[in-house]
A = this chain, B = another copy of it.
Amino acid sequence: MREGRETKDLLYEQVARMTKAIGSPKRLELLELLCQSEKRVELLAEQAQISVKLASAHLKQLKLARLVDARRDGKYVHYRLADEAVADIWVRLRMLAEERLLELQMGLRSLAKTPDALEPVDRRAVFGKAKRGEVVVLDVRPEAEYAAGHLPFARSIPLSELRRRLNELPRSKPIVAYCRGPFCLLAGQAVEVLQRRGFRALRLEDGVAEWRFHGLPVELS
C-alpha cells in the first residue's frame, strides 16, 4: 500500500492548506470583519489597519483556500465569507485559544479598561430583558454591518455618531452595547462614553457571530 501514503499526504495537505490560510493574525482579523458583512477591499484594509495592497494579498490567499468569495461590482470588489461554517470555525478557534492561552486572557483583561470584569453579561438574560424592554441593546458598529445582521431588539448608533445622538437613549434603563465580538474595541469605547455622561451602560462581549454560534436568533434589515 505504497500508493496509500501519497493519497493520505494529499488529504492532510489540503486540510492544512485551508487551516494555514486561516492561521495568520491579519487574515483572522479580515475574517472577523467579513463575519459582520460583505465589504470592499479598501474598507477591509482600513478597518484592519493595513495597506490596501496587503489586504488584497491576504484576501487572495483566503480566496485560494476557498474561505471567501469575491464579487466584482463596477470598480469595486466585494468579499464575503464563502460559508457560514467559516464564521463558526473562527468563533471556535477564538474560544479555544481564549480558554487555553494565558497571553490571550491577559490581553483581553487589558482591553476591559474598567477592571471590574465582574458579571460577564449573560447573553440569554440580555435576550430576555431586551425582549421585555428592560434594557436597551445598542449596536455601535457601522450602519452597514447592522443592516447585514444584528441582535434582535438592537438599535443602531455607530460609535462615530454616539456623542451626537445621546438624546436618543434613555437614562432610565441600562444600556447594553455590543460590537463585532470580544476582540473589538468599539463597544468598550461606547460604554466609556456613556458611563462618563451618566448613563448606566455595560458591554456585551458577543458579536453576531457569537450570538449565532450559541443558537440565538439574528435579525436582518
Residues of A within 8 A of B (CB): 1, 4-5, 7-20, 22-29, 49, 65-67, 82-83, 85-86, 88-89, 92-97, 99-101, 103-104, 107-108, 110-111, 183, 185, 189
Interchain CB contact under 8 A, B101 and A5: no
A99 and B111 form a contact (CB under 8 A): no
Q: Is the CB of B93 within 8 A of A19?
A: yes
Q: How far is the CB of A6 from chain B (nearest CB, A)?
A: 9
A107 proximity list for chain B (CB < 8 A): 7, 10-11, 14
With A93-B89, A183-B12 known to touch, is A83 a contact of B99 (CB < 8 Å)?
Answer: yes
Q: Which residue of B lies closest to A24 (CB)?
A: B16
Using Cβ atoms and an 8 Å threshold, which residues of chain B touch A189?
1
Q: Nearest residue in B to A3 (C-beta to C-beta)? A: B110
The reply to whether B18 and A100 form a contact with Cβ atoms under 8 Å apart is yes
Q: How far is the CA of A27 from the CA of B57 in the complex (A)?
A: 26
Chain B residue numbers with a CB within 8 Å of A5 are: 49
Contact assessment for B96 and A86 in the assembled complex, using a CB-CB cutoff below 8 Å:
yes
List B contacts of A9 (CB < 8 A): 25
Q: Which of B12, B26, B185 contacts A26 (CB 8 A)?
A: B12
The CA-CA distance from A23 to B97 in the complex, in Å, is: 15
A-B contact pairs, 24 of them (CB 8 A): A1-B189, A4-B111, A4-B185, A7-B110, A8-B29, A10-B103, A11-B108, A12-B29, A12-B183, A13-B25, A14-B97, A14-B101, A14-B104, A16-B24, A17-B101, A18-B97, A18-B100, A20-B20, A20-B23, A22-B23, A23-B23, A85-B95, A85-B96, A92-B92
**A8 touches which one: B86, B93, B103, B183 (CB < 8 A)?**
B183
Smallest Cβ distance from A11 to chain B, in angstroms? 5
* Candidates B7, B83, B101; contact of A100 at CB < 8 Å: B83
CB distance from A111 to the nearest CB of B (A): 6
CB neighbours of A24 from chain B (8 A): 16, 20
